[in-house]
């Protein structure tokens, strides 16, 4: 079917005229339909349909001064943790009639500041970021724009921005305590790059300050399954063998498990393996992975509620601590020996 492309596109005034109402009433139907009488709302909706009118976000922003979208800056989309958080965040923002635009930062503060400026330039009414380490340009931007910003994946009630997340140090200590309770005194700790990742830094610090002291050896590798495999090989080459391997990410733990199986090392009979995240697939690894559950879906929803309330009422939200929980599965067991 050939379309007539020469016809002028209907606008807000055309809809108002066709429905016999004011432009302001059409605007209310679009932005706050619950405030319009049902009969009037139906007339406006019928006029929209008959004119084949689709609201323009740009025009709506001009008319209302609102873009009704929030930006989220995350290190990567190649991680189930952020995927789960963003899915929950987008779903909850929709209940506040807000949309979500996502940008990735590669854990680079300078890149994050640049991406944040881009989001602000296209009208972001607020931002949701990860962690508490950001470039000076980022702080300057949000101060200059007086922009609502909420930080996730970290809890620090004294930080200059509201934090909504978990205690990373406590989560790591919970994982280590499970292993020490099983009699593991010599533990290899596998983690991703820490230089620009304050969440990883906090987890490492939590382990270093753990009491009673354990014999810990640390292995930094890329945050990937391949990185976990690399760590597994490195651990097996160590002169003093640990009886347990604590991974500060389930992704790394998956790689460690795969490598131990490849090398013929039995888990948990010879070595226990512990994760931290509780990814959806962790319960289906072999053996099923013991880990610490981080409430990322609840965090996404809580962050969405907080930024929406701030955008709508200009009231700064309070910091929110979400509990992490130990999940014991088949990959950990009592230490058979001191590892030699």
Question: pLDDT per position in the chain (340 positions), as tens?
Answer: 444 444 567 888 888 899 999 888 888 887 778 888 999 999 999 998 998 877 665 556 556 668 899 999 999 998 889 999 999 999 999 999 999 999 999 999 999 999 999 999 999 999 999 999 999 999 999 999 999 999 999 999 999 999 999 999 999 999 999 999 999 999 999 999 999 899 999 999 999 987 667 799 999 999 999 999 999 999 999 999 999 999 999 999 999 999 999 999 999 999 999 999 999 999 999 999 999 999 999 999 999 999 999 999 999 999 999 999 999 999 999 998 654 5
CA-to-CA distance for 89 and 76, rounded, in angstroms?
A: 16
What pLDDT score does 61 carry?
59
Helical residues (DSSP H) of 133-282, grouped into ranges: 136-145, 168-181, 198-208, 225-236, 250-262
DSSP state letter for 288: P
Burial of residue 77, with CB atoms counted within 10 A of its CB: 0-12 exposed, 13-18 middle, 19 or more buried:
exposed
Question: Which residues touch 47 (CB under 8 Å, ≥6 apart)?
Answer: 15, 16, 18, 19, 53
CA-to-CA distance for 133 and 193, rounded, in angstroms?
A: 14
Nearest to 291 by CA among 235, 252, 338: 252
pTM for this predicted structure: 0.83
DSSP state letter for 261: H
264: left (phi over 0), alpha (psi -120 to 50) or beta: left
Nearest to 191 by CA among 210, 211, 176, 213: 176
DSSP state letter for 298: H
Q: In what order do the strands lie in the sheet with 127-130?
A: 99-104, 69-74, 127-130, 149-152, 163-165, 320-321
How far, in whole angstroms, is CA 173 from its chain's centroid?
Answer: 21
pLDDT digits (tens, 9 = 90+) for 224-250: 999 999 999 999 999 999 999 999 999
Find tokens 């962050």 and name the residue: 303
SS3 225: helix
Domains of the chain (ranges, CATH numbers): 12-64 (1.10.260.40), 69-166+296-323 (3.40.50.2300), 168-294 (3.40.50.2300)
CA-to-CA distance for 123 and 69, rounded, in angstroms?
A: 8
pLDDT digits (tens, 9 = 90+) for 55-102: 665 556 556 668 899 999 999 998 889 999 999 999 999 999 999 999
Find tokens 């881009």 and name the residue: 118
Is the distance from CB of 84 to CB of 296 less than 8 angstroms? yes
CA-to-CA distance for 143 and 111, rounded, in angstroms?
A: 18
């Amino acid at each position: 079917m050939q379309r007539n492309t020469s016809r002028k596109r209907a606008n807000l005034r055309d809809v108002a005229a066709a429905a016999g109402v004011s432009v302001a009433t059409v605007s209310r139907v679009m932005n706050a339909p619950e405030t319009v009488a049902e009969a009037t709302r139906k007339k406006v909706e019928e006029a929209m349909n008959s004119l084949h009118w689709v609201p323009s976000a740009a025009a709506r922003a001009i008319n209302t001064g609102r873009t009704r979208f929030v930006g989220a800056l995350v290190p990567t989309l190649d991680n189930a943790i952020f995927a789960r958080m963003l899915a929950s965040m987008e779903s909850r923002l929709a209940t506040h009639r807000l949309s979500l635009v996502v940008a990735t930062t590669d854990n680079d503060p300078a890149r994050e500041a640049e991406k944040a400026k881009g989001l602000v330039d296209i009208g972001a009414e607020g931002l949701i970021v990860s962690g508490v380490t950001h470039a000076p340009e980022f702080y300057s931007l949000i101060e200059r724009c007086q922009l609502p910003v909420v930080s996730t994946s970290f809890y620090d009630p004294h930080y200059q921005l509201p934090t909504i997340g978990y205690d990373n140090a406590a989560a790591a200590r919970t994982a280590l305590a499970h292993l020490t309770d099983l009699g593991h005194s010599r533990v290899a700790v596998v983690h991703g790059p820490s230089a620009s990742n304050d969440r990883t830094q906090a987890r490492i610090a939590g382990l270093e300050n753990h009491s009673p002291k354990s014999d810990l050896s640390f292995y930094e590798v890329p945050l990937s399954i391949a990185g976990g495999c690399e760590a597994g090989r490195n651990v097996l080459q160590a002169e003093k063998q640990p009886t347990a391997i604590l991974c500060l990410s389930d992704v790394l733990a998956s790689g460690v498990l795969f490598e131990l199986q490849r090398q013929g090392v039995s888990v948990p009979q010879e070595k226990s393996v512990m994760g931290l995240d509780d990814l959806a697939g962790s319960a289906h690894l072999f053996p099923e992975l013991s880990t610490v559950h981080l409430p990322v879906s609840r965090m996404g929803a809580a962050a969405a509620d907080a930024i929406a309330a701030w955008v709508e009422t200009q009231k700064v939200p309070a910091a929110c601590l979400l509990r992490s929980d130990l999940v014991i599965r088949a990959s950990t067991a009592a230490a058979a020996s001191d590892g030699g």
